Each structure stands twice: as structure tokens, then as C-alpha cells.
């Protein structure tokens, strides 16, 4: 099967996430990187293109130029990956959708609810595929957990606990010239939230993905512990879901001893489950009145939903890059199905879409509003 031609906006020299996306896109051999606007500087974009083996004539100085030029080529890109700081997501996605090009975009989707809703309308109008790279939804045991909840194995969900603590911003790292810290703590590039938008959205999306629950209201306390920082670096929230389930969410980038400790616990009438990103090949299941059991990726207790997105036998770790790769592979199936005028494999349709992007941006806005109002209950 011919590879899809992929372009990239952002992800040039010294950009961490660009390399992750490129590796992920190639793991299952569905894509070939052929074009890019890798930097806001035309000179740096061309230098990055040379590093990556992209032809000089397909290294662009702006994403607008790239969208127009690639749409006009007979061999133009099939899809673009947008891996920039948050404030570029909306204008870049808009340019490519209007050019008729499918979009794979990093989260959060936009920096405002208005832009998110406008982008959703544009996706519907264009008929193009839009995939949001909440990569943790690609982990096999996360999909196993979702399948178990959907099958009713836990019964009616009562309690959801999501947390994502890190420690890398415990000091004012943004003042050292560290690129990732610089834009993530800058309201002009990150948007109205820091920690909440960066990793709180991952915890929220994971809870929504696994449980299928829809948020009704939240009560948030967003704090900035590092003196002089412009955005929040710690967030604690209470969640009320439609249907009666209750939840708590904690996200922090100032929790010493934590690297990427994303974790989800879900409890229903019949039982519960727990999954931790730093130990991703195991799902802990606790059914009421029964001994705890361990479901393993590629081994004990896991089913075809997890098997479909596993590559190596149980006991061989799979994680971050493979999770991203599963998102890219599902996106490839959606893009090919759209091009061939057929229905996609139903298993590929669970990837986060523009609707999840809108939901995530509304979550951020509601959290910011609630905190500014002293922890009032706010509907997204």
C-alpha cells in the first residue's frame, strides 16, 4: 500500500515533539515526510528540511505558502501534522483544511473556545479528516479499559480519579532559555492556561475516553507556585459528570519526584480499574468481592481491542512512541477510507477528533473561569 504523503508544520531543530511525531508516523510505515514549514524562520525551516531529507523546494517559510503550494501540486501532501506551540494550531489547521488537506494536530486544539468551534465548523464543511493527537488514547491497555467499561463489566460508573503530576517546572526553567518551558509558560503562545492546558487536558481526555462520561460541571483551583510565572503550574478540580458520576482531577508540574505520572482510576457498581502511564502494559482490575487481577498487554485477560494495537508479545514493553503510532495508523485508515469513498474500519474511529478538541478547549476555559471566580461551579 502506497505511503501517505505527510507534511509538517513546526517540529524543526531542537523541537522535541516533532521528532516524536515523525517516529510515530513511520512505525507502521503508513507515511512519508515530504514537505514542511519546520520553523517560523524560512532559513531555519530550510535547514531542518535538509536535516530530514526533505527536498529544498518543499521547505516553506510559512504554513500559508505551504498549504497553497502543496494543494496545487499533483504530488502534494495527503495530510499535515501540526506540532507547533498552541497559538499556531488554529490558523495552521484552518489554512490546510481550506486547501483540502487532512489534518493531524497536537493538543490543545486551539487557545480559545471561539476558535475551537470555528474549526469544528470548518472540518464539517471541508469533509477532511481531523485527528487530535491525545496519544495516551492509543495505549493498548487504555483501549482495553475503555472496552471493559463499554461492555458494562464495571457496572454504572460512580467515581473517576485522574491525575498527571510532573516536576520539571518546579523552578523557573523558562528563564534559562529552555525552549519547551519558554512557550508553555507564555500566555501569548500557550493560551490562558499553563499546566491545565498542557497536561490537565490529557488527564481529562483520558477520563472521558475510557468512561464515555460527559462533563456537566467543574470546580477548579488553579495555582501558580513559582513566583513570577505567568500561568498556572498546579491544578486541582472536582468534576460532576452527567448521569451522576463524580470525579477529581489533579495536574501539577511542580510535584518533585514525578516525571510523567499520568494515572486513571475508575470505579463502578461492580468493580474498578486502574492504569498508570509509567507502567502502561498492565491494567489493574478489582471486581467487588473478588481478588484483584492483572490484565496484561499481549497476555492475560486482554482482548482483541488491545491486541489490534500491540506489536510485540507480552513482557516486551510498549509505550509512548507506540501509543502515538497507533493514533497515526488509525488516522491513516480514516484518510485512506475518505479518499477511497468507503467506510473506515470501525476500530479506527475511536481516535480523538475535532469534537474532542472542542471539548478539551471548553474544559480549559471552564477551569480558568472557575478558578478566577474562587472555585465556583462552571459548566463547560
Residues ≥6 apart with Cβ < 8 Å to 375? 219, 220, 221
Which has the closest alpha carbon to 133: 164, 97, 107, 94? 107
93: three-class secondary structure by DSSP: helix
SS (H, E, C) 160-218: EEEEEECCCCCCCHHHHCCHHHHHHCCHHHHCCCCHHHHHHHHHHHHHHHHHCCCEEEE
pLDDT in tens, the chain (380 residues): 899 999 999 999 888 999 999 999 999 999 999 999 999 899 999 999 999 999 999 999 999 999 999 999 999 999 999 999 999 999 999 999 999 999 999 999 999 999 999 999 999 999 999 999 999 999 999 999 999 999 999 999 999 999 999 999 999 999 999 999 999 999 999 999 999 999 999 999 999 999 999 999 999 999 999 999 999 999 999 999 999 999 999 999 999 999 999 999 999 999 999 999 999 999 999 999 999 999 999 888 899 999 999 999 888 999 999 999 999 999 999 999 999 999 999 999 999 999 999 999 999 999 999 999 999 999 99
C-alpha cell at 367: 477551569
Between vectors from CA 358 to CA 353 and to CA 359, what angle results, nearest 5°? 95
β-sheet bridge partners, residue 218? 239, 378
Domains of the chain (ranges plus CATH)? 4-128 (3.40.50.720), 141-312+359-378 (3.30.360.10)
**pLDDT for res 15:** 87
Amino acid at each position: 500500500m502506497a505511503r501517505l504523503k505527510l507534511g509538517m508544520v513546526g517540529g524543526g531543530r531542537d523541537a522535541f515533539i516533532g521528532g516524536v511525531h515523525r517516529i510515530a508516523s513511520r512505525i507502521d510505515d503508513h507515511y512519508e515526510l515530504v514537505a514542511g514549514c519546520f520553523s517560523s524562520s524560512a532559513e531555519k525551516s530550510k535547514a531542518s528540511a535538509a536535516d530530514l531529507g526533505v527536498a529544498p523546494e518543499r521547505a516553506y517559510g510559512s504554513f500559508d505558502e505551504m498549504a497553497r503550494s502543496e494543494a496545487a501540486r499533483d504530488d502534494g501532501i495527503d495530510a499535515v501534522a501540526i506540532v507547533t506551540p498552541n497559538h499556531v494550531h488554529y490558523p495552521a489547521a484552518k489554512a490546510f483544511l481550506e486547501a483540502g488537506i487532512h489534518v493531524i494536530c497536537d493538543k490543545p486544539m486551539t487557545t480559545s473556545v471561539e476558535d475551537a468551534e470555528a474549526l469544528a465548523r470548518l472540518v464539517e464543511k471541508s469533509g477532511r479528516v481531523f485527528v487530535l493527537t491525545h496519544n495516551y488514547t492509543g495505549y493498548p491497555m487504555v483501549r482495553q479499559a475503555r472496552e471493559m467499561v463499554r461492555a458494562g463489566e464495571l457496572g454504572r460508573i460512580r467515581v473517576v480519579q485522574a491525575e498527571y503530576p510532573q516536576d520539571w517546572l518546579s523552578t523557573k526553567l523558562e528563564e534559562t532559555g529552555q525552549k519547551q518551558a519558554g512557550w508553555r509558560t507564555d500566555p501569548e503562545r500557550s493560551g490562558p492556561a499553563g499546566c491545565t492546558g498542557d497536561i490537565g487536558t490529557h488527564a481529562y481526555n483520558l477520563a472521558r475516553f475510557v468512561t464515555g462520561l460527559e462533563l456537566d460541571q467543574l470546580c477548579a483551583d488553579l495555582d501558580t507556585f513559582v513566583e513570577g510565572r505567568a500561568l498556572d503550574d498546579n491544578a486541582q478540580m472536582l468534576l460532576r459528570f452527567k448521569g451522576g458520576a463524580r470525579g477529581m482531577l489533579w495536574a501539577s508540574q511542580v510535584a518533585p519526584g514525578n516525571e510523567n505520572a499520568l494515572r486513571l482510576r475508575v470505579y463502578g457498581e461492580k468493580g474498578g480499574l486502574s492504569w498508570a502511564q509509567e507502567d502502561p502494559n498492565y491494567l489493574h482490575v478489582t471486581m467487588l468481592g473478588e481478588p484483584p487481577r492483572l490484565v496484561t498487554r499481549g497476555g492475560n485477560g486482554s482482548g482483541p481491542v488491545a491486541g489490534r494495537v500491540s506489536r510485540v508479545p507480552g513482557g516486551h514493553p510498549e509505550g509512548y512512541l507506540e501509543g502515538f503510532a497507533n493514533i497515526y495508523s488509525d488516522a491513516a485508515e480514516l484518510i485512506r477510507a475518505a479518499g477511497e469513498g468507503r467506510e473506515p474500519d470501525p476500530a479506527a474511529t475511536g481516535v480523538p477528533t475535532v469534537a474532542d478538541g472542542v471539548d478539551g478547549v471548553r474544559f480549559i476555559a471552564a477551569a480558568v473561569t472557575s478558578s478566577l471566580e474562587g472555585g465556583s461551579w462552571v459548566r463547560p
